[in-house]
Structure 1
Amino acid sequence: MASTHTDKPAYPLIEKLIVIGLILLFLNSGYLVAFTETSILYLINVFLHVALGAVCFALLLHQGYKFLRRETPKGNDIARYFGYSGYWLLMFGMGLGFYLMIVGAGKSHHTALVMHVVVCLLAIVLLIKAIRNIGHQISVANPINSAGRVLMVVAVVAICVPVLAHIYKTIVPSDEIIAENTVPATYSMAESAMGGAQGPFFPSAAATVDEKFIKASALGNSESCGAQGCHPDIYRQWQSSAHNFPAFESLWYKPAITELEASQGKAASNWCAGCHTPALLLSGATAQTPEEQSQLSAAHGSIGCVSCHAIARMKGTTGQANYVMETPGLSELANSENAALRKIYAWFVHLNPRPHRQTYFKPFLADETGKFCSSCHKASVDYPVNQGHWLQVLNDYDSWQSSSFSRETVPEFYRPDKKQDCSMCHMPLVASRDAGSDSGLVRAHFFLGANTLAPVLRQEHEHLEKTQDFLRDNKISLDVFAVSLGWPDTSRQTFLSSNADSVSIIEKRVALSATTINHEDIDQISPAARPLALGTTFIAPLDRQNVRVHPGESVRVDVVVRSRAVGHSFPAGVSDMAEAWLEFKAINDLGQVIFWSGGSTVDLQRVDPYAHRYGAVMVDSTGQRVYHYESWKAHGVAALNLLPPNGVDVVRYRFKIPPNPGNNIQLIAKLHYRKFSSALASVNGQRTGVAIPVIEMAHAEAHLGVEYNLMHRHFYMESYMPEDMSRWNDYGIGLWRQHDLLGAERALLRASQHAPLEHNPWINLGMVWLKSGRLEQAKTTLLHALSLARNSSRAHFFLGLAYKSEGNYSAALDEMKNALDGHQNDRELRIEIGRLYYLMQDYTRAIRAFKKALLVDPEDPTVYFYLRETYRADGDGENAQKMDQLYLKFRQDENMEQLLQQTLTHQPWIEARPREYHEHAVSTPRFWNSIKTNATNGHTEK
């Protein structure tokens, strides 16, 4: 009797191995896509992916085609077409895998990587469909059908896991972010330090992810990043940068922290180390003496690759090393002394650079460079460091954030087409074939800025030239714009003042911040005064006229200084150590000097002490000047004159034409800049022998003719050239900043006449009338500006101020809300909205608006002042007291006026307040270089 049992067909072992290999490869691929991390497990899976792919490729090449020829006739046309198509696509996809294994899976081969994934995925779908079709044609329980089901389930799992992982990452925010600022701000440095006052890094705000020390070796070894095949171009660029300058090899660092520790205690030097020597701080080495630290290899490292790229997250924008550092994954392999282990890591990055990229290139490095850089380009001292009042000693971030370059603020005069952050200026795109380059471009790591001392000390002439070219590249412009002829009438003065009454007692208080950054009080409607010179002739633009002067005549020349491509205040960084001054010289055609301000000795070591300067002067508790390297002694800022981003300054020079001035007088203006003052060429009283370069950043000239016929008077007709609109606008802005409202009004009227369809001059004119109390004229002008540009946030903002000044709070609030669109991070706008809610007695909304302002700058004393008043009005005494404490902390020290008077005896040039109307004149030959005859052409002015 025949048996009814049908034996199952026997399949070769190699085909079973193919199925097992594909299952493992599916699961491995899903894991690699879903969980990108720098860990030993992930590294093993990357190498396993290559091994499994190679084995499966070999097996499929040997047996896969045979299987299709044997089994596809058992299915239908779908099995045949899908089977052969899937097979050859899989072979092609795996071939791309081998190609990537050779050339690497970097950005330059991203297209090949995408094709590898897509082609293999499509091939698997076709093959599974073909196998399932063949199995169905044979029997339900056929092994081919079972294999198809298993492969399908595993493939679905391998696809779903990465999808679910992506959804999770999208919903749950990553820790690799810049956190919002703490509101309200912490009251003490201990609250910001990891572990409080007893923490290992106090008073620095630096922290580590696991609150443990990090090995110094994990934060160094930038050389490995520059290995061939990695980032050699970027490494070479960084080698020339100021970041690659060890703190212990600087002129000031070691002497400064030695004195600091002797004066304030061992922990105080951590305040410096958080940014200058992070490897020493985070490894716990700062517990040693400065002398012992200097013997460590980490002390002679610098701000290397990992110092920035291993930062896991930022705790806000208050600076003071406000970062959280992590030990990069697999750093033990990357920095191992064993060459074989280093090659394993290098091969891992070659095969799959994504984990390396995610570890060392957090999203905020590309999207929020301004906030990221604030961690070390913003700093303040407080009692644990200076044994005194809180004082901000460094701040490049807030001046950028509140400028038009950030595109987050409303009231700025000029607005670029797109946001410009730190990297766009200091790290422009340059050609490179480095791994990680994008379309053959990388961000330059020269970090070009204003530091001309470092390349001099290292004798890097090429980098010095790059720095000089950077500084001269239209960063600041000069314009010898206007001249006034005739003596000013000092016996009769007219003052332009405000007739606008304050709407509330809260409007009468202005909180000055204890900071070394300008705070423009553009929203304050306050009195302004300027003496009007009667009987004078005003001529501008000077280069459009053939101006002629008479011997014995008094001449005032106005030079317009405009910041153009500087995204923060100028000078930036340690502005108290920088030396920036304006030189103005009047010289006749005989080569004789008629007037000279801002000159210097031949060796450039001594500069006219009465020159118009830009910078800051910090003083200690006795009124003696201190510099940034000893800022732990600083108790106040005695003088501050920084040119804000896109800001304008008008500098006036007055001199008398001598009896024999020649036939032509050349007016020359130059802006000089030196990264460190010549006074800093001495350390502890010893000359260093270092000549700190002086850069001429801007230059402008004009001419005056001489008319010897005293009876002949020239009449000047103003030229109307469209391109002069911006010059008149700049001039008006500069006068407005100095509270010369009458002059600003005249200039801005000229600007609006030159370009009547341009809305910005009309807005600026409205600002002038608003500040002078002419509210109806201001509103009319601002409404006209809105008719030219209906979406102008600036016009809405200042129109809101006008409505507020006349007590129409609801209309003012509507305008402010219109201005708020697209400017959620405008601190001044948030403050104004809070004021309006306060005046409308809606205290809940007022508090909410003020807190949003604090999210932008949690150290603004003005906001705490208004919060205090609002809480008091709302009957919340407890919170009012807390706000009062923070207001008193961040406001300017009440002893500042006394300190200023003490400082005047040592720094006479401070007498000329930069924000007030003043003229530079030489009444006696008091020149710095004792060459009196050359200074005044033998003529002593009376």
Structure 2
Amino acid sequence: MTSERTRSRVVVTPAMHRLLMVLLVAFAILVVDSVYLGTISFLEWQRNETLQGFTYQTAFLLHLLLGFAMIVPALVYSIMHLRRALHRPNRLAVRLGLALFAVTLLLFVSGILLTRGLPVFELTHPVSRNLVYWLHIATPLAACWLFILHRLAGKRIRWGAGIGIGGVSLAMILVIVWVSTPAPPEPIVGNFEPSLARTESGHFLTTQDLMADDYCAGCHADIFDQWQHSAHRFASFNNPAYLFSVRNTRRVAFERDGDVTAARFCAGCHDPVPLFTGAFDDPDFDDEKHETAHAGITCVSCHGITALGSPRGNSDYVIGAPEHYPFAFSENAMLQWVNGILIKGKPALHKRTFLKPLHESSEFCGTCHKVHLPEKLNKYKWLRGQNHYDSFLLSGVSGHGVQSFYYPEKAHTNCNGCHMPWQASDDLGARPFEGGLAVHGHHFPGANTALPVLLDLPEHVNAAHREILRDSMRLDIFGLRQGKDIAGPAIAPLRPETPIIVPGQDYVLDIVLRNVSVGHLFTEGTADSNQVWLSLRLIDDTTGDVIAVSGDIDNRDRVHPFAHFVNAYVLDRNGNRIALRNAEDIFTKLYDHQIPPGATDVVHYLIRVPESVSGSVSIEVALHYRKFDTQYFEAFNGGTGNPLPIVTIAEDRLTLATSEQQDAVVNVPSQIENWVRWNDYGIGFLRKKERRGLRQAEAVFRQVSTLNPANGFLNLGRVYLQEGRLYDAADMIRNAADAGAYPWSVAWFSAQVDLQSGELESAIDLLSEIRDTQYVEAKRRRFDFSRDYRLHVAMGQANFQRGKLVRDGEPNPWFEAAIDAYQIALSLDPENLSAHYGLVLLYERLSDEKNAEHHRQQHATYRPDNNARDQAVNIARQNDPAANKAAEPVVIYHLYPPDTEPQVELTRATDTFQ
């Protein structure tokens, strides 16, 4: 009887049949949806580009909703069906049904595991997620196959309906894929000049587009916390120093032009939110209360950038309104949660929108950390401003500069290694790093140590700035000369042995200042208002009294004007110092004491020990850093004095015995390799202006050649090239090659000799070898010299000179090669004066007046106005004795009695700020 009841019992009741139809319809929709999602994923893999957009995310949301909605009904149906069919005599159908049920459970479980943002658990491990993902792909295919087999073992399947539905579904999928594939980008229009920034649409953006920091913080809390104390966060009207300067620029522009558009020059980098929303152009813009005034450089201001223009800087980028997931800015908590589920489940669109390959490039940083002053701002002509980018690009640090003195073991291919160091974090954007998870730090250390004082921020904010300053420069008290100039022979190196000095006699002390770890000019940035200086104290060891000083600080926190400053002394057209960050008035430089990567300066001091001193004397020298000098700080802050922290970046100390002293003097040996000390010493003389240190450099590099022949001979070749001694230069370069000097350095300086000797084809071959980086060691270190535009300019010059030897009427591939080389140089440096001039000469020879005139105009734009410069410089030198002295090619600083003791304590970078 039981067997008969089992046979006659209906396995699918009418109610169950209706539920099954609902589930099948939902499953059919899911199949269509899944095929669409899979097709997009396949096309992304095939094209190596992200195609996910709003349509894709909507489809993914539908996938989640239907998937979760089906779980309970499917389980209910399966259990009811299982209870009715488990003991049916058709055992094949039963076994297939059980297998189908098991696969369905796997399908649901894998889908739940893949869903990010669930309140109870979340599968985050990449390998585990990958395995579960492919399980989720395979189980619906297995379910379809088992369902067909299950039905084949039972009642007849109605194939016609299924094929019809499948055909319609396939057509729908193809249409949706075609519609949702992004169209090619349209030409970019729009004008925010003199800033070079543009928007994708050519129109203004909204505050919601640009001010989404709190939205970002929901998933990136660690990054948000770092950013909110950073110099980028406080780059706009919320920074008192910038506020003072940009207010003045806006005022000058309005009084001069009747509008403030000239100040857009600042806004493209400092005030993107007011600029792109249109608020900045309002002359009555409330820079204290307007909602955009204190936005700073927001998350979207950087991560919303979609393209870079040229490497000219001045905010030459394109920014767009980000493409968000559904419910991105909903105020409903449930919909916000759904938005998070979508982002975590399918983050490809989010990554494509907010993190592009361009964000990892030095060119991205260069859009704002390279500046020129446009004519619309200064009503004069194009002038170069600060430029971190080119000094990094042309350095050995980047692996692109072919002329460097030193090279790293591995090239630093972008700015992030120093300015966005890895920070341990469990942030959703974290990546595996050194056995844990980490994110690129967003505090952007760059030595802006003024922020905690100006904005009342926590003291720990300066930790990253201290770290980047610490030992970035190096001081070495290296040599001593009798007399009052550098003409005499140097007693060097000082330490461990030191000479005995005679009280009452004059000596010139040589101190080497080396850029050790800064990958661009030190200091760069606001080099006119950054205050970096050397202090020196001569101490009587017997009494402890300070005999004489240089670089001390008075009661108003002002550094003595006759100190050595590592800065740029910038002038307006009337010869006045640019002291208030008034960029619109910048005209020229009186001097520039900044130091390139891996280079040095030799700073000279005249010292005389009083005849009354009977024991040893000590010399203490230190390099100090303060973000702003006192004149500028008092201007924007009001009052007197300068409480900004002073950091001691580097220091050195030496004790010297006097002729009156009986006991021996012991100095700790230098930790620097002896050949490096000598080499740094020579580099400093080689870099003296007007070639005033070449004789000293030659003597020093001869000493280096006995300690490290490769570097010594190569640098002697540099000296002889500057002196025009081509035969001697070639001889030294051959010696350097035999001693194992870097082959690219040998090739570069050999090419310079060949160029000046008329061996043009040899020079071209050598330059081509460098351009292609045909050196195993260079490739191992990830160097790429094809990015050095000086190399391409040299190739253009060599090919042009070779082409001039071709007779008229004969094919001249040299001219074409020269044009190509100059054009490559301009693609890397569009404002390159030599490249434009070379193209003028070439196109004139080719009778191409149109192109010749274009480059003639470009050359006129970028050519310095030396006549006007000389007038401003002469006025400045007459009005400022200290600056006049500092502008000399060789400066010997005099010590003076300590009139007053410093009023602030100078601390090392590793210590707590005062």
Give TM-score, length-normalised by structure 1: 0.80
Which one of 450, 454, 457 corresponds to residue 451 of structure 2?
A: 454
Structure 1 equivalent of residue 865 of structure 2 = 893
Q: CA shift at 1:477, angstroms? A: 0.9
1:120 aligns with 2:136: yes
Specify the SS of the correspondent of 1:384.
helix
Q: CA shift at 1:175, angstroms? A: 6.3
Which one of 786, 791, 794 corresponds to residue 745 of structure 2?
A: 794
Structure 2 equivalent of residue 521 of structure 1 = none
Structure 2 equivalent of residue 299 of structure 1 = 293
Gaps (5+ residues) in structure 2? 1-10, 42-49, 774-783, 804-813, 903-914
1:234 aligns with 2:216: no
Structure 2 equivalent of residue 6 of structure 1 = none
Specify the SS of the correspondent of 1:916.
coil
- Asked if 2 retains the 8 angstrom alpha-carbon contact of 1:26 and 1:155, the reply is no
Which one of 474, 493, 504 corresponds to residue 552 of structure 1?
A: 504
Structure 1 equivalent of residue 906 of structure 2 = none
C-alpha separation between the residues in 2 aligned to 1:51 and 1:298? 38
Q: CA shift at 1:320, angstroms? A: 1.5
C-alpha separation between the residues in 2 aligned to 1:394 and 1:579? 16
Q: CA shift at 1:852, angstroms? A: 0.5
Structure 2 equivalent of residue 318 of structure 1 = 312
Q: CA shift at 1:479, angstroms? A: 0.8
- Asked if 2 retains the 8 angstrom alpha-carbon contact of 1:607 and 1:928, the reply is no
> Cα gap change, 1:72/1:838 in structure 2, threshold over 3 Å: closer, same or farther?
farther
Supply the AA of the counterpart residue of 1:729: N
C-alpha separation between the residues in 2 aligned to 1:650 and 1:99? 60
C-alpha separation between the residues in 2 aligned to 1:299 and 1:51? 41
1:218 aligns with 2:209: yes
Equivalences for residues 617-656 of structure 1 within 5 A: 617-627=569-579, 629-656=581-608
Q: CA shift at 1:43, angstroms? A: 4.2
C-alpha separation between the residues in 1 aligned to 2:497 and 2:833? 48
- Asked if 2 retains the 8 angstrom alpha-carbon contact of 1:104 and 1:351, the reply is no
Supply the AA of the counterpart residue of 2:380: G
Structure 2 equivalent of residue 187 of structure 1 = none
Which one of 23, 28, 31 corresponds to residue 26 of structure 1?
A: 31
Q: CA shift at 1:578, angstroms? A: 1.0
C-alpha separation between the residues in 1 aligned to 2:801 and 2:373? 35
> Cα gap change, 1:915/1:815 in structure 2, threshold over 3 Å: closer, same or farther?
farther
1:470 aligns with 2:467: yes
1:376 aligns with 2:328: no
C-alpha separation between the residues in 2 aligned to 1:663 and 1:156? 98
C-alpha separation between the residues in 1 aligned to 2:389 and 2:89? 69
C-alpha separation between the residues in 1 aligned to 2:512 and 2:179? 58
Structure 2 equivalent of residue 734 of structure 1 = 684
Give TM-score, length-normalised by structure 2: 0.82
Q: CA shift at 1:361, angstroms? A: 1.9
Q: CA shift at 1:472, angstroms? A: 3.8
- Asked if 2 retains the 8 angstrom alpha-carbon contact of 1:132 and 1:145, the reply is no
Supply the AA of the counterpart residue of 2:107: L
Structure 2 equivalent of residue 522 of structure 1 = none
Deviations 1:336-367 (A, max 9, x none): 566666555344334433323322222222x2
- Asked if 2 retains the 8 angstrom alpha-carbon contact of 1:214 and 1:327, the reply is yes
Structure 2 equivalent of residue 874 of structure 1 = 846
Specify the SS of the correspondent of 2:617.
strand
Q: CA shift at 1:466, angstroms? A: 0.9
> Cα gap change, 1:791/1:130 in structure 2, threshold over 3 Å: closer, same or farther?
farther
C-alpha separation between the residues in 2 aligned to 1:325 and 1:633? 29
Specify the SS of the correspondent of 1:298.
coil
Structure 2 equivalent of residue 491 of structure 1 = none
Specify the SS of the correspondent of 1:483.
strand
Structure 1 equivalent of residue 389 of structure 2 = 397
Q: CA shift at 1:576, angstroms? A: 0.8
Q: CA shift at 1:436, angstroms? A: 1.5
- Asked if 1 retains the 8 angstrom alpha-carbon contact of 2:481 and 2:507, the reply is yes
- Asked if 2 retains the 8 angstrom alpha-carbon contact of 1:254 and 1:290, the reply is no
1:908 aligns with 2:876: no
C-alpha separation between the residues in 1 aligned to 2:25 and 2:831? 62
> Cα gap change, 1:22/1:799 in structure 2, threshold over 3 Å: closer, same or farther?
farther
1:53 aligns with 2:76: no
> Cα gap change, 1:387/1:850 in structure 2, threshold over 3 Å: closer, same or farther?
same
Q: CA shift at 1:649, angstroms? A: 1.0
Q: CA shift at 1:21, angstroms? A: 3.4
- Asked if 2 retains the 8 angstrom alpha-carbon contact of 1:247 and 1:302, the reply is yes
> Cα gap change, 1:277/1:232 in structure 2, threshold over 3 Å: closer, same or farther?
same
Q: CA shift at 1:671, angstroms? A: 0.6
Specify the SS of the correspondent of 1:818.
helix
Equivalences for residues 30-45 of structure 1 within 5 A: 30-32=35-37, 34=40, 41-45=55-59
Gaps (5+ residues) in structure 1? 1-8, 180-192, 489-530, 932-942
Structure 2 equivalent of residue 601 of structure 1 = 554
> Cα gap change, 1:727/1:61 in structure 2, threshold over 3 Å: closer, same or farther?
farther
C-alpha separation between the residues in 2 aligned to 1:297 and 1:330? 22
> Cα gap change, 1:749/1:92 in structure 2, threshold over 3 Å: closer, same or farther?
farther
Q: CA shift at 1:896, angstroms? A: 0.7
- Asked if 2 retains the 8 angstrom alpha-carbon contact of 1:827 and 1:856, the reply is yes
Supply the AA of the counterpart residue of 1:24: I
> Cα gap change, 1:100/1:383 in structure 2, threshold over 3 Å: closer, same or farther?
closer
- Asked if 2 retains the 8 angstrom alpha-carbon contact of 1:847 and 1:870, the reply is yes
- Asked if 1 retains the 8 angstrom alpha-carbon contact of 2:423 and 2:439, the reply is yes
Equivalences for residues 693-732 of structure 1 within 5 A: 693-708=645-660, 723-732=673-682
- Asked if 1 retains the 8 angstrom alpha-carbon contact of 2:324 and 2:350, the reply is no
C-alpha separation between the residues in 2 aligned to 1:561 and 1:81? 80
- Asked if 1 retains the 8 angstrom alpha-carbon contact of 2:495 and 2:670, the reply is no
Structure 2 equivalent of residue 3 of structure 1 = none
C-alpha separation between the residues in 2 aligned to 1:540 and 1:610? 26
C-alpha separation between the residues in 2 aligned to 1:799 and 1:152? 71
Structure 1 equivalent of residue 274 of structure 2 = 280
- Asked if 1 retains the 8 angstrom alpha-carbon contact of 2:57 and 2:326, the reply is no
C-alpha separation between the residues in 1 aligned to 2:671 and 2:465? 33
C-alpha separation between the residues in 1 aligned to 2:99 and 2:334? 45
Greater mean alpha carbon deviation, residues 233-242 or residues 720-729: 720-729
C-alpha separation between the residues in 2 aligned to 1:593 and 1:633? 42
Q: CA shift at 1:23, angstroms? A: 3.5
Greater mean alpha carbon deviation, residues 680-689 or residues 559-568: 680-689
Structure 1 equivalent of residue 439 of structure 2 = 442
Greater mean alpha carbon deviation, residues 834-843 or residues 901-910: 901-910
Supply the AA of the counterpart residue of 1:214: L
Supply the AA of the counterpart residue of 2:602: V
Specify the SS of the correspondent of 1:543.
coil
Deviations 1:728-787 (A, max 9, x none): 22222222112423332333333343345xx44443333223333343443344344445
> Cα gap change, 1:63/1:709 in structure 2, threshold over 3 Å: closer, same or farther?
closer
Q: CA shift at 1:468, angstroms? A: 5.1
> Cα gap change, 1:256/1:356 in structure 2, threshold over 3 Å: closer, same or farther?
same
Supply the AA of the counterpart residue of 1:235: F
- Asked if 2 retains the 8 angstrom alpha-carbon contact of 1:30 and 1:159, the reply is no
Specify the SS of the correspondent of 2:570.
strand
Aligned length, in residue pairs: 837
Structure 1 equivalent of residue 807 of structure 2 = none
Deviations 1:70-128 (A, max 9, x none): 89965999x8998688556435423423576447889x444443233211222234444
- Asked if 2 retains the 8 angstrom alpha-carbon contact of 1:585 and 1:596, the reply is yes
Equivalences for residues 792-871 of structure 1 within 5 A: 792-820=743-771, 821=773, 822-841=784-803, 842-871=814-843
Identity across the alignment (%): 26
1:264 aligns with 2:214: no
Specify the SS of the correspondent of 2:539.
strand
- Asked if 1 retains the 8 angstrom alpha-carbon contact of 2:286 and 2:293, the reply is no
Specify the SS of the correspondent of 2:566.
strand
C-alpha separation between the residues in 2 aligned to 1:220 and 1:329? 14
Specify the SS of the correspondent of 2:263.
helix
